[in-house]
Amino acid sequence: METFYLKRLLLIVPILSVFSCVDLDPLEYQVEKPLSIEQQEELDQLEPLKEYIGESSLKLGAGVSISSYNSQGTVFSLSNSNFQELTAGYGMKHGAVVNDNGELNLDEVSQFVNHAKEAGLSIYGHTLAWHSNQNATFLNSTIAPTILPAQSNPEWETILSIDFESDDQSGYQSNGPNAALAFTSDGAGFNGEGRALTITNAEVRPNEWDSQLFVTFPEATEVGQVFRLEMDIKSDVDTSINTQAHTAPGSYKHYDFFGTLTANPTWKHISIDVTINENTSGCNTIAFNLGTTAATYQFDNIEVSKYNENGNGPDWEDLLDQPFETDAQNGYQSNGPNAVLSFTAMGEGAEDSGRALEITNAEVRPNEWESQLFVTFPKVTEVGQKFKLEMDVRADAVAAINTQAQTAPGAYKHYNFFGTINATTQWKHINTEVTINESTAGCNTIAFNLGLTATTYYFDNLKVSWFNEEAGQDIIIEMSEEEKKDTLSFHLDKWISGIMEVSKSNTFAWDVVNEPMDDGNPYELKSGIGKSEMAADEFYWQDYLGKDYAVEAFNLAAKYGNADDILFINDYNLEYNIDKCKGIIAYVNYIEEQGARVDGIGTQMHINIDSDRSKIIEMFKLLAATGKQIKISELDIGIGVQTKDATEELYLAQADMYHFVISEYFKLIPQNQQYGITIWSPTDSPSNSSWRAGEPIGLWTESFTRKLAYKGVVEALQSKEIN
């Protein structure tokens, strides 16, 4: 090597200076050319690399781009002249071949195999089972949950239901003394059950609407919606009842909402559907005109429903929405004179808009619950459901308001429903969610305890809603672990059989399993489990097929390849992390214990000029001891700088390291175990390359000029008989 690395510089400056002025007579001696020109000419006179292999069975290979080779240009010529075996850098990997539908596009692979065969070169198959360069989109889709879209299950959604079994007048009221409200005795309701509402119109009125019953529901109508009114009705004389559409009790919009009802002394069930139009949109109140006939009317089981074409989706649904803009006390009441209800003036509501509910507790009470506001909603709570309370609140003095869960106004169940609300003298927005438990289940009333502080409280924009998470959801069916394993085993089989079938005429060795060992835990397999960021082409077969994924891959390769194909396992950094080298050897032993055949171990060797030579020697010794075929599968050597910053000294060191690695391979690996050496990047890497971008790692420059590293490889090949 010294004669290569330490050539003499024979230019003698004094002689040049003596004769530099003589320009007529030719010189009688030869002046040697500069060192770089001398060396380049010597490099150019060397034989192509494969000529130094002789009759040896050693495979000298190159990593190439399939498209570059198939174009049959310079890469094609250089590869054919210098190498015996080709490894596709990307084109024979799962991600390059398998499309998003799982189909194998093998045309370019087939051309590559045939072109190489015609040129007298074989293919080293790279790679069958890896975690990178996979079509992860397709593979993940094969084990994704089955999602059955939410079924369109049209249903009637009840938004108001009144059975008149309590004195709570939530959802209904009359327009005054012309429609006197009372209740029947118990047992006088529809079908002789419970009780019913009675309304007496004592005389025929000048206008039928002078006597009215208002029924209010918590959701304003919209054009196109379908609403249903159901109820049981009778009267002491035959009569007819027209229905009006109101935007609030007494706020008339249209003369016809649910048409005209007829009543007589016999109970009658009414069920009427209407489609909302411009005349009836924006309304939430049905006004029953009772003034046509002097009669006593009885109403029972009033129900207003909305047709939901798609069924309920998982969303918050309002149960009560009370802005306190009308005098109708729908959904709220106090517990008596200790909590005096009134309203603020207009413009004194939250954000100085509209009005608010005003409740005065005149003195501190012995018990905080002696002054209460009850808010009632039309759905009874159940364990596990989520409820939300929203409102704006303030008080004339700072005050704490505890909330109780009650089954009806005054029917206490639990001391804590929506926690404690702290009111100040400024408006404050409250938004509290609770999950119903045993203590708060079966309730439909929030009791606000106002007795702790003598003050006036103000409430506005009070809303109670619940999260309907069961209706209208997609049905998600997850695959079991065994189903995922079976599915991926099928696709691994399809992939390996397809790529090997199109390649087997000229591919006699395969990188079956690539980079299995974990860097941090080198005796364990790599895994994507718990990895926060996965590349788009990353997919870990082992996470689904288990430790035996390699067993399966080797068995499939033996099944679908040629009978005498040489099957390798391959990994990187085996010379950097000796435990990783030991780890892959242990894994090979495991694979073979499960009955699969592993013929060889590939060590990639992407190294630098300062890589630890003692570890390289130790790695080769460990690999040799396995008795397996050993391949340097992806050799390239960096110099620590980009091409533009390279020096002759660094290139000499690179040539020396190439020589060292290959010589030690021949020295330490028994000849019958020497499968071969692949130069991963024959030329220096371009600045836009995905691999070691801008690094001068090759034996040729980017413009295909031989480098000192070429001579280093040649001299190492010439020493191959050293073993």
Burial environment of residue 405 by CB neighbours within 10 A (0 to 12, 13 to 18, 19 or more): buried
Tokens of 72: 């049959």
Is 575 an annotated catalytic residue?
no
Distant-in-sequence, close-in-space partners of 355: CB < 8 Å, separation ≥ 6: 324, 325, 343, 344, 345, 346, 347, 348, 349, 460
Chain Cα centroid distance, residue 377? 38
Q: Of the candidates 32, 41, 37, 28, which has an alpha carbon nearest to the alpha carbon of residue 9?
A: 32
Taking the alpha carbons at both ends of the chain, their separation in whole angstroms is 19
Query: Three-state SS for 526?
Result: coil
Q: Which candidate, 317, 488, 464, 340, places its Cα nearest to that of 405?
A: 464
Alpha carbons 261 and 215: distance in angstroms, whole number = 15
Three-class DSSP category at 700: strand
Residue 17 neighbours by CB under 8 Å, 6+ apart? none
Give every CB contact of residue 116 below 8 A, 6+ residues apart in sequence. 69, 86, 122, 123, 506
Token pair for residue 211?
Answer: 């006597």
Among 177, 279, 283, 297, which Cα is nearest to 229's? 283
Structure tokens at 580: 């990783």
The two beta strands, 507-514 and 122-129, are parallel
Structure tokens at 534: 């996965």
Rounded to whole angstroms, how far apart are CA atoms 377 and 331? 6
DSSP 110: H
C-alpha–C-alpha distance, residues 191 and 267, integer Å? 8
Stated as kind and residue range, the H or E segment containing 487 is helix 481-503
The rounded distance, in Å, linking the Cα atoms of 125 and 63 is 11
**Which member of 368, 552, 634, 715 is catalytic?**
634
Look up tokens 């055949």; give the residue.
Answer: 597
**Nearest C-alpha neighbor of 351 from the set 456, 427, 457, 430:** 427
**Structure tokens of 437?**
């438990």
Cα distance between residue 365 and residue 55, in whole Å = 109
Tell me if 189 sits within 8 A of 336, measured CB to CB.
no
- Could you tell me which residues are beta bridge partners of residue 464? 320, 389
- Is residue 467 a contact partner of residue 385, using CB atoms and an 8 Å limit? yes
Maximum pairwise Cα distance, the chain: 147
Sign of CA dihedral 43, 47, 52, 58: positive
Token pair, residue 303, equals: 């129900």
Sign of the dihedral through C-alpha 606, 610, 611, 613: positive
Catalytic residues: 634
